[in-house]
């Protein structure tokens, strides 16, 4: 059965490979991109599937644009079966947003949280939210998350933002256990051939299809139908425990409270 699937960061890397595979399999794919010309090029490359694709522009480092993206999705869609929060960032020319927050936390943690919460009326009990986590997870400095402290190390900010994403995946899974959707955090595989890996580690990386295939599996397969709140580590090919902090109730509540505080002013829904 054809599904309606929204993918953020769908103009390159794992997101683009995932989108192409899903479209070719007959699904309706909503492609998000930050750059209009790049999104146009992707849409053109998928022109033979024009009835299955729609494009959306938003800069996820700006939470106001995330809210506008959600509003545009409400205007154009009646249901979303799967949201794949794929967009992410490691390095940036400016690491602090105009709002004074670290861009890694905004793009990797806050934007997908806000988007997921804002789109809740378009989900149903069977819907899934697949969050692109990472093997790189590190204890979160709450002051860094809140924007009260800067980071001099790109990887430290990135690893903390990915743990925060993994934590809210678990937190929202518990909150929506009865009504859905499911929330699943996935490490798609380390050192895949993405722009982020090339910029961050200076290596070509492994086949992006490794990551795309597990995202598709998490989005659609029966194996993940009861996986809400779980973490799948594709480096070892199975469900696993994330960083211990993502299993600590007090730390989960602390991080969830901070995230809620930061996104609340940008939300049109009851968070």
The token pair that represents 118 in the structure block: 């804002």
**Neighbouring C-beta atoms of residue 152, cutoff 10 Å:** 7
Are the CB atoms for 239 and 88 separated by under 8 Å? no
Rounded Cα gap, residues 123 and 70, in angstroms: 13
158 tagged catalytic:
yes
**Neighbouring C-beta atoms of residue 252, cutoff 10 Å:** 17
- 2 pairs with which residues across the strands? none
Selecting among 49, 56, 151, 158, the annotated active-site residue is: 158
| Alpha-carbon dihedral angle through residues 171, 174, 175, 181, given to the nearest 10 degrees | 100
Rounded Cα gap, residues 260 and 119, in angstroms: 16
For residue 146, the SS3 value is coil
Q: Is the dihedral of CA 230, 12, 126, 214 positive or negative?
A: negative
**Neighbouring C-beta atoms of residue 75, cutoff 10 Å:** 7
Task: Give catalytic residues, as residue numbers.
Answer: 158
């Amino acid at each position: 059965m054809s599904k309606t699937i929204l993918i953020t960061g769908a103009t390159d890397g794992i997101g683009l490979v995932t989108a192409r595979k899903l479209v070719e399999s007959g699904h309706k794919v909503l492609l998000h991109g930050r750059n209009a010309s790049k999104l146009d090029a992707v849409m053109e490359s998928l022109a033979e599937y024009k009835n299955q694709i729609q494009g959306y522009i938003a800069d996820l480092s700006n939470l106001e644009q995330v809210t506008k993206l959600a509003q545009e999705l409400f205007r154009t869609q009646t249901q979303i079966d799967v949201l794949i929060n794929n967009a992410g960032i490691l390095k940036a020319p400016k690491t602090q947003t105009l709002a004074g927050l670290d861009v890694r936390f905004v793009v990797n943690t806050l934007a997908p949280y806000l988007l997921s919460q804002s789109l809740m009326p378009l989900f149903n009990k069977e819907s899934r939210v697949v969050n692109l986590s990472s093997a790189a997870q590190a204890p979160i400095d709450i002051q860094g998350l809140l924007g009260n402290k800067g980071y001099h190390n790109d990887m430290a900010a990135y690893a903390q933002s990915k743990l925060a994403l993994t934590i809210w995946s678990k937190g929202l899974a518990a909150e929506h256990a009865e009504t859905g959707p499911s929330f699943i955090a996935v490490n798609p595989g380390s050192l895949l051939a993405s722009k982020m890996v090339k910029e961050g580690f200076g290596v070509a990386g492994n086949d992006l299809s490794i990551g795309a295939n597990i995202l598709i599996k998490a989005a659609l397969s029966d194996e993940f139908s009861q996986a809400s709140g779980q973490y799948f580590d594709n480096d070892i090919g199975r469900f696993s425990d994330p960083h211990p902090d993502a299993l600590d109730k007090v730390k989960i509540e602390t991080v969830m409270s901070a995230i809620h505080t930061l996104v609340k002013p940008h939300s049109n829904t009851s968070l």
